[in-house]
Each structure stands twice: as structure tokens, then as C-alpha cells.
Structure 1
Amino acid sequence: MLLFKILSYLAGYVTIALPEDCLEKFINMATSRGIFLWGISGVGADRVTLKVRLSGVQPLRHVARMTRCRFTIVEKAGLPFAIVKLRRRKTMLLGALFFVMALYLSSSFVWFINVSGNKSISEQEIKEVARQSGLYPGAFKPAIDGEKLEKIIINRLPNLSWVGVYFDGTRVEVKVVEKVLPPHNNLNAKIDIVAAKDGLIKQILVLQGQPLVQEGDTVKTGQVLISAAIPPPQEEDELDNPEESDREPQEEEQTVKYVQAKGIVKASVWYEGYTEVPLVEKGENYTGHEITKLCIKIGAKEIILMGPRDVPYAKYDTRADGKKITGWRNINIPVEFIKVKYLEKVDYTKTYSKAEAFRMAGQSAIAEIEKDIPSGARITNKHYEEVKIAENENMVRVKALVETIEEIGTEKPHPLS
């Protein structure tokens, strides 16, 4: 229907009026000659109006003579008549053409430059490099090579790992990604390895530092596992040798050595979870039926281009997506195209047996626990059990337990560092 209206406007059409008593034979003869008529309506005084394209007016005059039914043109509409009116107003036509040309030419230049993604590098520094490469407010867009510009900016700013230049009308978006430099590793730093979680030590491998726990020990979060402080080696008792004991003590005093502790500490870690599942579940489901409405919003007025005016569903969800026409300079164009989807929903009720609800609750509780388990952990045991609070309640409550073996050591500065 929309396409027909557009084609009719481009070709031009007229509204004619004729007596009601000859309408039937007039329409029959016009239709037999391939002349399409539409928009038939009464206007009173036994007269009716109907619409016909401009190309069908001349053939209709022959139909009128043969049916002895005279008609009069009461309205003219469409592009051909608009052009005729504009020809009579040459100044207005020239002004409109000048405006269109000025709008087109202005859209061929860059007026706005936005920079995003930068943190340590200033926006002004990136814009200055872009300006030197030919991108600046007022630059001619066809003369700008986006790919070449990206390479120039990366070469001149070595702290950038990626640059993207995007054109959107008169606006240019320069998106950058800065290089992530590795943290400075101070080999002289005093670092302890501490427990990131509670657990039972299963394996400890010390590469550097002093171990403070051993396999089989239970540790708490924050407890030091491998210390950065290495005590001096203990000397053997020399009391059995009197001559040695009479010697003066050594002047050099052995001190504690500090290092950056390194090692691997694996422990058994336990995770708990809790889930409830009702024996009678009520909710809403999507039926799979949906309808789409397209409309254009001009200011506060909304015009439906496609789709129903009223939603035929009793319950539904709405998902809308709108696109506004980009403004030009300080001119805001209040036109927005809106696409709205209506998804039908229905109520449902589902009943579970106690065994089904127990299984579902257990699986759900374990699934929630597994979201918190790190990727490198190895699950060694899963278990869940029912938690009873009251008799004959319409709810199954489940407590789940998952055991893993995982690396729990994490670095922490030594207190004396």
C-alpha cells in the first residue's frame, strides 16, 4: 500500500467528481480499458469522487463521452503538479536547489572529530597527529585515506597498538587501543606467597623462599604459605668441644635474607551452594508468535508505516529499536524511524514430583557453584542433600557441596618491604 502511494505521487494523480447514477457503467468501462480507479467516496448531492493517475485522465474523457457521464477535476496532486508550481516560483526553486547543493557540499567535509579509547595519551596529541596527516575540521572527505591515516597515527604514536578511523556523515570517529605494558618486575622486592582461599594443603613446591606449611595442614585465607624471609642456618652445638667453646664469639652476625618468594601450593577447596525449587511452578512463556510495527516519528506525531495499530496479544513483551536522522551542525532534525517487536506470552503452571524437584535443585545448585570455580581447578567431588525445614511444604530445598584441588597461592608484599 505504501509503495502504491509513492508511485502514484511520483506519476501524479487527480480526483474527479461525477454523478452517482452513472458510477457503475463508468467504472465498468474504465476497468475494461485498463484504467485503475481508487478512493471512491460520496460527497453529497448524488455525486461521488474517485482518484485516477494522470496518465488515465485522457482515456477517461472517451469513457465519459461513451457513457454520457461528464466528470470534473476537483483536485490535482503529485510530483508533476508540484514541479509546475515550482516553475512559476523560480526564485523558490533556485533557493531550494541552492540549499540542496550547499547541504550536499557541506556533507562532503569533516566538521567534527571524536577520539575514544585513549587513557595515557591525550586526545589533543592524537588530533595533532591526525591534523598533520590531513584529518582536521574542514577537510575534504574524499581526499582522506582512512587506512593510510591509521598506519600513520600508529607509526607516530608507538604506545598505540591499534587505530580505527570511521566516517559517519560529517563526523569522524577515531578509536584507539593503547599498548598494555607488563608491570615492572623488581627482583629485589620482598614478596610472600599467601593463601587466597581456605583449604587443605595437598601439594607444595617451593622454588624460592621459606615454607611455613606442609602437606596436610589446614590454612585460612591470608595465611603465609611461603615466606620471603629466609632465616640464617642454625649452627651445630659445640659444647662437646671445650676448646672451641672457650673461643670468642664471631664478630660477623648472620642476618635474615629476604627474597621474592616463588612456588606452587595446591589445596583442597570446598564450595557451598543452596537452591530452592517449588513443587508447583507458575510463570510465563513465549509462544513464538510475534508481530512487527514500523513507524516514523516526526516531533510528537507518530505515523505507522507497517504493522497493526493495536497489539492483538493479551500479554506480550516489547522490544523497540529507534534510529534518529543525524543532525547537521547545530540543526536538530526531529525525525526518528522506530521498529517495534511485540512477542506474545502466555501463563503456564507446571507440577513436579518431589524426586524431580530434588534433582533439578541439586543440578541448579552445582551449576551455580561451578560458575565461581576457576578454570584451572580440578573437581574431585560433587554432593548435594535436601534441607528440610517444615513437613509437607510445597518446596524442595537443597544444599550442594563441591570439592576441588586448585592453586591457592597469591603474591603479597612482605610486612617489612
Structure 2
Amino acid sequence: MKNRWVTFIMGRVLVKIEGKGVERLINICARKRVSLWSVRKLKTGTVFFYISLHDVHHFRHIARDFDCNVSFIRGEGLPFLWKRLLKNSGFFIGVFLFLALITVLSNMTWGIQINGANPETEHHIRKELDKLGIKVGTFHFFNQDLEKLQRELTDRVNNITWIGVELKGTTFHFQVVEKNEPKKSKPPGPQHLVANKKAVIAEMFIEKGKPLVKVNQFVKKGQMLVSGMIGKEDEEQLVPAKGEVWGKTWYQSEVEYPLTTHFEVFTGNEKIIHEIKIGSVEFPVWGFGNIAFQNRKIEKNNYPVRFLGWQLPISYVEKTVREKEGFERELTKKEAVQAGILLAKNDLLKNIPDDAKIDKEIVLHEKVENGKVKLTVYFQVIENIAKEKPITQGD
């Protein structure tokens, strides 16, 4: 018996023979290598068997020499299915176009709902969404990274604290939390200004109160800088001292910096691969061939396909393969010291007030050990050292 899958792919025909010389016809077919299988003979003498589509023409020539009636009952297999498919192609094309249209419409934006925002904020958000390419009637196929969209809107709209983004079917839903206007603080009561750390006074800007220190004077932590009691002793008034007292303060940092650093850079060579992902299997559709990059980084963007609100197990995948090169940079001791000072300075800037500034730095100690430069750096910083202190009855 022939392999059923092979005969299905090649095509087979069910044949019916009636008359004289049937057995002889079958024997001649066997001698001439015309394959017959599943041969059945009925009590009436009628014989049924299968023959491959490829041998039908040869079988016709053999059967002409015999006095028997040959009937081809039906054709089976892939060639006959294809023929029927072409016969009904209009129906299948219509179904395919209908499903394709539904899929396209399912990946378009048909609604944008914004909740929790006042009309002015909502108008601002809609303008920013237009700039990002999200509006009714446009494809959201390439805008399904909701976390990225959330970050973009938070950065662009200043008067919102948080915005939630959700894509339900063909509608974007935005939940907005606006910033609350700070309550107006009550006018401060009588107070002094004292030093919050030891420093040397660099400059002062006093709006209210009586200054008790001078420029270039050393002050300790807690020492009074500006008094909230003004006027003569008999006519003293209590006021909220207000102003800025800038002092020179000191910080010490210890840092290590390697003399040899390894880093990687992109060479500019890249290859883009387009794939269709079905389930967990990816099928490349563009960008075939081997990738010759030995050291590389792959960035992958996945765009799922939706159908009537459901996310299908089908997605379009765009891969960008970039070539990288590794380098080793050897630094001299002087270069490593400068890099270490810069590193210590950047760390210090994270821990001092935003309005403070580094005035100077001094390297107290440096040494090379185990391929690293170890530094002890002394920084002088100018910052506002004034701290408010309410005036109590004891004062």
C-alpha cells in the first residue's frame, strides 16, 4: 500500500472497472509499473482500486486495448482540493478580505477617554496626544508601549502628578491625577536665624531682623546669625527674621578610580530584521541571512495584533542588531586623579542643596594601589546656612 500522505499530496483517483479481462488488465498495469492499490472485487465482478493522478494518462492508453468499461469515480488529494478552491476562490477571497478589514479596524483608535482632569488640562493632554500620533482614526499598532506613553505625557504636561494609561479594545483610557495647589502658608511668627552647621560667613542678604555676625567670621552650629528682636532695649519688637546667610562649609570624600577602564561603543553597523511571531515561534519575513557581528546588542520591539478587542497570539517583531566594539583605555596617574576628583564632585553635588556651589577642592592624599588611584579630596562649598528658630518666652 502506498504511503497515504504521499498519495494525498500527489493526488489519487478511485477507478471502477466492469467487463471482461479485468484481471489481465491489472497484471499488465503491474508489468508496466502503473501502481494500483486498495483493489476490491465485488461478487458482480466489478473491481475498484486507486491509481495515482500521475499514472491516469498511461492507464487510459492501456485500458483501450481491453473490452471493459472504465469509470473514474472521484479524485482525491491536494491537486483536487486546489482545483475546488480555485473554483470557489471568490468566496474565500471575500472571507479573507473581510477578516483583514476587521483586523485593520481593530488596530485603529476609535475613542480617547480622559477622566479626572479639568477642561483645560484635558485640552492640553489631547494636544500632546495629537503630537504623539494618537487620535481618532489613526493606527495605534506602533503606539502600544503604554509605559513609554505614560512617561511622555507626564514629562510634557506640567500640572499633573500621575496619569494612568490603558488600552481597551480600540479605546485609550487615561486616568489623570492633577497637582494640588499648595495651601497658602500662614505668615511666620517671630523667629531668629541660626547656623545649621559650622562655617565661615561669605556673604549675607538680610530682609528682616538684626544681623549679629559679619563676613569672614567663623560661626558654630546653632549660633544665632540674625536676631528677630529689633529696636532699642526699651522698645524692642519681635519680628520674623528673614534672609540668607551664605557660608563656606567643608566636606571630605574618599574615592577610587581605575587606571585601566574597559568600555564598549557601537560601530554604526546595524541590521534590521522583520518577523512575524505566532505563539512563541518567530518567522523572519525580511532581513534574512547570517549576522557577521561577533559582539552585538539586539533591541526588540514587539507589536501585538488585535482582533475585535482581543489580543491575538500573532505579533509583528522588529529586531535591530547593532555591532559593538570593546576598548581598553589606559590613563596616566594625572588623568586618573582628575577623573577621580570629577567623580567625587558629582557625588557631592547629589548630597548638597541645589542652590549650593563648590568653591574649591584640595587633594589631601593620593596613592596608586592595585591598579587604582585612591584619593582623599577636601571640598569647600558655599551654601545657605541660615535656619529658622522660633522665638520662645525664654528668649
* TM-score (structure 1 length as normaliser): 0.50
Partner of 1:234: 233
Partner of 2:23: none
Matched, 1:289 2:269: yes
Q: Are the counterparts in 1 of residues 103 and 307 from structure 2 also a CA contact under 8 Å?
A: no
SS at match of 1:387: strand
Give the Cα separation in 1 of the matches to 2:183 and 2:388. Answer: 14
Give the Cα separation in 2 of the matches to 1:82 and 1:292. Answer: 37
Partner of 1:312: 292
Give the Cα separation in 2 of the matches to 1:285 and 1:106. Answer: 41
> In the TM superposition, what is the alpha-carbon distance from 1:396 to its structure 2 partner?
1.5
SS at match of 1:322: strand
* Distance change >3 Å, CA 389–CA 195, structure 1 → 2: farther
Q: Are the counterparts in 1 of residues 109 and 172 from structure 2 also a CA contact under 8 Å?
A: no
Q: What are the equivalent positions in structure 2 for 1:132-171 lying under 5 Å apart? A: 170-171=170-171
AA aligned opposite 1:171? T
The C-alpha deviation readout for 1:120-178, integer Å capped at 9, x for no partner, is: x8xxxx99xxxxxxxxxxxxx68xxxxxxxxxxxxxxxxx899x9x9977213447574
Q: Are the counterparts in 1 of residues 107 and 305 from structure 2 also a CA contact under 8 Å?
A: no
Q: Are the counterparts in 2 of residues 191 and 227 from structure 1 also a CA contact under 8 Å?
A: yes
- Of 362, 368, 373, 1:396 maps to 373
> In the TM superposition, what is the alpha-carbon distance from 1:315 to its structure 2 partner?
2.6
> In the TM superposition, what is the alpha-carbon distance from 1:334 to its structure 2 partner?
1.9
Partner of 1:133: none
* Distance change >3 Å, CA 110–CA 307, structure 1 → 2: closer
Partner of 2:220: 219
Give the Cα separation in 2 of the matches to 1:274 and 1:373. Answer: 16
Give the Cα separation in 1 of the matches to 2:188 and 2:334. Answer: 60
Partner of 2:303: 323
> In the TM superposition, what is the alpha-carbon distance from 1:303 to its structure 2 partner?
0.9
* Distance change >3 Å, CA 107–CA 337, structure 1 → 2: closer
* Distance change >3 Å, CA 107–CA 402, structure 1 → 2: closer
Give the Cα separation in 1 of the matches to 2:81 and 2:190. Answer: 87
The C-alpha deviation readout for 1:50-86, integer Å capped at 9, x for no partner, is: xxxxxxxxxxxxxxxxxxxxxxxx96999x9967424
The C-alpha deviation readout for 1:171-190, integer Å capped at 9, x for no partner, is: 13447574653431312545
Matched, 1:85 2:88: yes
Partner of 1:358: 337
> In the TM superposition, what is the alpha-carbon distance from 1:198 to its structure 2 partner?
4.6
- Of 337, 358, 362, 1:383 maps to 362
The C-alpha deviation readout for 1:209-243, integer Å capped at 9, x for no partner, is: 465655413233x7664465x389535xxxxxxxx
Give the Cα separation in 2 of the matches to 1:394 and 1:105. Answer: 62
Give the Cα separation in 2 of the matches to 1:107 and 1:360. Answer: 51
- Of 277, 283, 296, 1:303 maps to 283
Give the Cα separation in 1 of the matches to 2:197 and 2:285. Answer: 60
SS at match of 2:88: helix
Q: Are the counterparts in 2 of residues 365 and 398 from structure 1 also a CA contact under 8 Å?
A: no
SS at match of 1:325: strand
Q: Are the counterparts in 1 of residues 271 and 321 from structure 2 also a CA contact under 8 Å?
A: yes
* Distance change >3 Å, CA 76–CA 191, structure 1 → 2: farther
Q: Are the counterparts in 1 of residues 248 and 383 from structure 2 also a CA contact under 8 Å?
A: yes
SS at match of 1:365: helix
Matched, 1:277 2:262: no
Q: Please state which structure has a larger fraction of its residues in strand.
A: 2
* Distance change >3 Å, CA 96–CA 324, structure 1 → 2: closer
Aligned length: 280
AA aligned opposite 2:329? K
Give the Cα separation in 2 of the matches to 1:81 and 1:268. Answer: 92
Partner of 2:202: 202
> In the TM superposition, what is the alpha-carbon distance from 1:339 to its structure 2 partner?
2.0
SS at match of 2:294: coil
Give the Cα separation in 2 of the matches to 1:309 and 1:197. Answer: 67
Give the Cα separation in 1 of the matches to 2:386 and 2:84. Answer: 83
Q: Are the counterparts in 2 of residues 365 and 399 from structure 1 also a CA contact under 8 Å?
A: no
Give the Cα separation in 2 of the matches to 1:104 and 1:290. Answer: 31
Q: Are the counterparts in 2 of residues 386 and 396 from structure 1 also a CA contact under 8 Å?
A: no
AA aligned opposite 2:287? G
Give the Cα separation in 2 of the matches to 1:294 and 1:318. Answer: 13
Give the Cα separation in 1 of the matches to 2:209 and 2:276. Answer: 71
The C-alpha deviation readout for 1:350-384, integer Å capped at 9, x for no partner, is: 33333333333334434544565656445432333
Give the Cα separation in 2 of the matches to 1:83 and 1:259. Answer: 97
* Distance change >3 Å, CA 217–CA 306, structure 1 → 2: same
* Distance change >3 Å, CA 399–CA 172, structure 1 → 2: same
* Distance change >3 Å, CA 337–CA 384, structure 1 → 2: farther
Matched, 1:406 2:383: yes
AA aligned opposite 2:233? Q
* TM-score (structure 2 length as normaliser): 0.52
SS at match of 1:357: helix
Matched, 1:341 2:341: no
CA RMSD in angstroms comes to: 5.0
